[in-house]
């Protein structure tokens, strides 16, 4: 079904080659790269305030500066926890496909991808365990079944791309935010560097897989793909709003706060900014 990936056009091959050599050139030892102070100061932002879930809402006005700092601390642990879970799932899917029929062409790149993601998962988990003393559990509904069908690989790689683009929105902003501790900025900077390659690759792969699916699908099947992808985007965005985070930050009715924030007028703008580039890409490709 993905024969298109075997004899791909020159453009895809060039991109794969360029991204693979870039991976080799940029290779680093994550276990030596970062400074891990014993503690990070508590009276500062751990996440850019504009990226926290209460930003611009009435709820934020009810909180003291100290509570807002605490919230940013737990939200940052939640963000890196989501990374750990997202990476575990994408590693399973990519590992399932490497060197199997249909994936001959991208397999060389998959080796870099798998290696890099394993290292990302390590430094995100390290951050959570050191500074949060835990990894938040994966939110319910995470393993929303991917329908087993001809479109399975398309949905898998579209999910991976959406996840990586969401994360990158945060990484690219926090890497540059001078209000954050250098250790936090470094993690975001390094991840952003690697993810630029993964996202460039993901867009090519998803476009190629979609072109193939389109040839063999009815209107209804394409509408189902579009609906599935939109649902996945909503789910990913909502996983940023974790009631356990609100509880840890001392909020009395965490579920109520979550509901309030998801219904707040600020939500739409936040969601649009997180997925601005992703939506543009998916629309242009005709996927949604």
At its nearest, how many Å lie between Fe ion and the CB of residue 162?
12
At its nearest, how many Å lie between Fe ion and the CB of residue 80?
11
Residue 198 is a binding residue for Fe ion (CB under 5 A):
yes
d(CA 124, CA 81): 7
d(CA 96, CA 92): 6
Of 168 and 248, CB closest to Fe ion: 168
Is the separation of the CB atoms in 53 and 30 below 8 Å? no
At its nearest, how many Å lie between Fe ion and the CB of residue 186?
15
Tell me the number of residues near Fe ion by CB under 5 A: 4
Q: Under 8 Å CB-to-CB from 165, ≥6 apart: which residues? A: 199, 275, 277, 278
Q: Under 8 Å CB-to-CB from 109, ≥6 apart: which residues? A: 16, 19, 20, 23, 201
Q: Which stretch binds Fe ion (CB under 5 A): 122-130, 198-206, 257-265, 273-281?
A: 198-206
Give CA angle at 165 (164, 169), nearest 5°. 115
Residue 203 is a binding residue for Fe ion (CB under 5 A):
no
Of 120 and 258, CB closest to Fe ion: 120
Residue burial 33-43, b: 16+ Cβ < 10 Å; e: rest: eeeeeeebeee
Q: Which stretch binds Fe ion (CB under 5 A): 10-18, 177-185, 190-198, 238-246?
A: 190-198
At its nearest, how many Å lie between Fe ion and the CB of residue 123?
10
DSSP one-letter code for 177 = -
Is the separation of the CB atoms in 127 and 84 below 8 Å? no
Scan residues 118-177 and list those touching Fe ion (CB under 5 A).
Answer: 120, 164
Q: Which stretch binds Fe ion (CB under 5 A): 23-31, 64-72, 117-125, 232-240?
A: 117-125
At its nearest, how many Å lie between Fe ion and the CB of residue 168?
9
Of 30 and 56, CB closest to Fe ion: 30
Query: Footprint of Fe ion on this chain (CB under 5 A)?
Result: 120, 164, 195, 198
């Amino acid at each position: 079904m993905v024969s298109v990936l075997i004899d791909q056009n020159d453009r895809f091959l060039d991109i794969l080659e360029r991204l693979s050599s870039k991976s080799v050139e940029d290779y680093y030892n994550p276990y030596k790269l970062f400074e891990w102070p014993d503690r990070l100061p508590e009276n500062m932002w751990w996440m850019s305030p504009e990226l926290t879930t209460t930003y611009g809402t009435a709820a934020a006005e009810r909180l003291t500066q100290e509570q807002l700092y605490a919230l940013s601390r737990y939200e940052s642990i939640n963000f890196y926890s989501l990374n750990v879970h997202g990476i575990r799932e994408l590693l399973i899917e990519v590992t399932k496909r490497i060197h199997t029929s249909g994936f001959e062409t991208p397999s060389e790149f998959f080796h870099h991808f798998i290696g890099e993601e394993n290292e990302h998962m390590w430094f995100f988990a390290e951050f959570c365990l050191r500074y949060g003393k835990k990894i938040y559990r994966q939110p319910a509904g995470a393993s929303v079944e991917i329908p087993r069908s001809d479109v399975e690989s398309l949905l898998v790689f579209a999910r991976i791309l959406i996840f990586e683009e969401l994360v990158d929105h945060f990484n690219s902003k926090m890497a540059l935010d001078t209000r954050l501790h250098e250790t936090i900025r470094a993690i975001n900077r390094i991840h952003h560097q690697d993810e630029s390659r993964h996202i460039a690759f993901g867009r090519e792969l998803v476009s190629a897989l979609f072109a193939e699916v389109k040839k063999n699908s009815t209107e209804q099947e394409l509408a189902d793909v579009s609906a599935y992808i939109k649902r996945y985007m909503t789910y990913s965005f909502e996983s940023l709003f974790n009631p356990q985070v609100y509880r840890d930050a001392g909020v009395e009715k965490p579920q109520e706060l979550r509901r309030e924030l998801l219904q707040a007028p600020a939500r739409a703008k936040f969601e649009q900014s997180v997925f601005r580039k992703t939506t543009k890409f998916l629309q242009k490709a005709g996927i949604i």
